[in-house]
Structure formats: structure tokens, C-alpha cells
Amino acid sequence: MTTKCHSFGVYSQICSVLFCSAAVYCSRGSFVAVISLFSFCEVIVASFLASLIFTMAAIKSALPDAVTGTFNYFAFGSNLWSKRLHMGSPTAVRKGFGYLENFRLDFFHYAARWRGAPATIVEQQGHRVWGALWEINATNLPDLDKQEGVHNQVYKALTLPVRTPSGETLECRVYQLVKNPAPLEGGEEERPFERQPSKTYMDVIVRGAKETGLPEDYVRFLETVKHNGYTGDPQFEIDLAVQDKNL
């Protein structure tokens, strides 16, 4: 609203200057030419202001800031589980679930905390990655970036369209590894050791997928991901209580 009011004020000032100029020229007998010039300038100014307002709206929807107060976040890994996400972003509120079109879920790099490869999204036609939709207060953005290792160039933040089962599309913050793997040559059984997540990590993801209510066939796919058998950092595992038999 502030941007629009300010833009209207600028527009009014410009038009006033043009009108005064028109009056001066009118006194010299150039009425028709000046009116034409005035109309042309008015169209140019209006087009510029419309473009400015559209650009500001796009920036506002893509970036969390003090004006909006919150941002949409799409989680496909350990942050599917509310307990994990709330450890660093306590303001997160679940808003349902959705999917990224033409991306696949994969695992790469190495996370010491999890003792295995963390999840990432990789562009690939014909694939979908399902995940949780969260609305988070902008005050937790630095915490989320830190969790994802953005400052260490482990993950990078993207803004991508996420589709919901109802057909709605939301622009969401999504994290992708800076270095992504090539497609697996075979199935999950062929997943190399260096690209295997830990058992603890996959337990958290599956727990989160069930809590989120992701499609059953996708949950079954997650349960087939080949892991390295390792458990995560002992204290971290206790904090998450992933040894719960009711997983």
C-alpha cells in the first residue's frame, strides 16, 4: 500500500509539471501540439509506474521481509518432521503439503551430524518431489539458512513454484545442494555408499512424511531408499527421540 501511494504521489507531481508546461505553451498558441505531448507523456509515466508496482510486488512475494512478516518454505528432507524443524525455527506452522514438478529426490555430499548423505532436489523431467509446506516468521530465516549451511555454501536457497493437491501454486523457499549428483545408473540397490543417507536420517524423513500426510506410494518409496546403516550423532539422536518404537 505504501509503495502504491508513493507511486501515485510521484505520478501526480509529474502530471502537474506537465500541465504547467502545457499552460505556458498554450499561451503561445500551440494548444493541439501540447495536448498531444501531454497525453503521450501521461501514457509513458503510467506505464512506468505500473511496471514499478508489478516489480515491487514480485520482489515482495519472493523474498521474506519485514513487510510480509512470514515466508513459505517447502521441506523435503528432515524438516518434514515438525520436531526437527522446530528445533531451529519454532515459529513454523504447517500449511499442508505439495510437490515440485520435474525434480527428483536424491542424496549427496556428507553431513557429519547425520553421518551420511543429506537430501537434495535435482532437476529431472517427469519426476516429482513431495514435501511439507510451512509458513515461517521472517525472524527465523537466518536460523533456517544456518541449519542448511548456506553460509558454508553447502546448500543454496531457491524460490520455486510448489503445487498443492488442490491445484494451487505457491512460491516457496527451497534449499538445494550447491553440488548435485548425476542420476543413478540403476535403482536404489545400485546407490553407491558415498550417496547413501544414514538410517537415522531416513527414519526422521519417513516419520516426517507420515506426519505430513504425503501420498502412501511416496512414503513407500522413501522406505526403499538404501541407507548406510549408521545412526546419527548420539546426542542429536536423543534430542530427536528417533529411537521411538512407534516410528
194, 226 in Cβ contact below 8 A?
no
How far apart are the C-alpha atoms of 138 and 64, rounded to whole Å?
6
Look at residues 21, 37, 62 and tell me which one is the last residue of a structural domain: 62
Q: Within a 10 A sphere around the Cβ of 106, how many other Cβ atoms?
A: 22
Task: Kindly state whether residues 35 and 106 are assigned to the same domain.
Answer: no
- pLDDT score, position 60: 46
Cell of 65: 521481509
149, 155 in Cβ contact below 8 A?
yes
Task: Kindly state whether residues 115 and 233 are assigned to the same domain.
Answer: yes
In terms of residues, how long is the chain? 247
Cell of 231: 545412526
Binding-site residue numbers for substrate are: 73-78, 201
Residue 1: HSE in the Cβ half-sphere, 13 Å Cα cutoff: 2
How far apart are the C-alpha atoms of 135 and 223, rounded to whole Å?
27
Task: Kindly state whether residues 21 and 102 are assigned to the same domain.
Answer: no
How confident is the prediction along the chain (247 residues), in pLDDT tens digits per residue?
434 344 444 444 444 433 444 443 444 444 444 344 345 445 554 565 555 444 444 444 445 544 459 999 999 999 999 999 999 999 999 999 999 999 999 999 999 889 999 999 999 999 999 999 999 999 999 999 999 999 999 999 999 999 999 999 999 999 999 999 988 887 787 899 999 999 999 999 999 999 999 999 999 999 999 999 998 776 777 777 765 544 4
Q: The CATH number of the domain where 116 resides is what?
A: 3.10.490.10
Active site residue 148: yes
What's the domain count of the chain?
2
The answer to the question of residue 246 being in a domain is no
How far apart are the C-alpha atoms of 176 and 64, rounded to whole Å?
18
Active-site choice (101, 123, 148, 194): 148
Look at residues 62, 89, 109 and tell me which one is the last residue of a structural domain: 62
- pLDDT score, position 188: 80
Task: Kindly state whether residues 202 and 92 are assigned to the same domain.
Answer: yes
Residue 229: HSE in the Cβ half-sphere, 13 Å Cα cutoff: 1
Q: What is the domain extent for residue 229?
A: 70-240
- pLDDT score, position 9: 47
- pLDDT score, position 5: 41
- pLDDT score, position 38: 41
- pLDDT score, position 72: 99
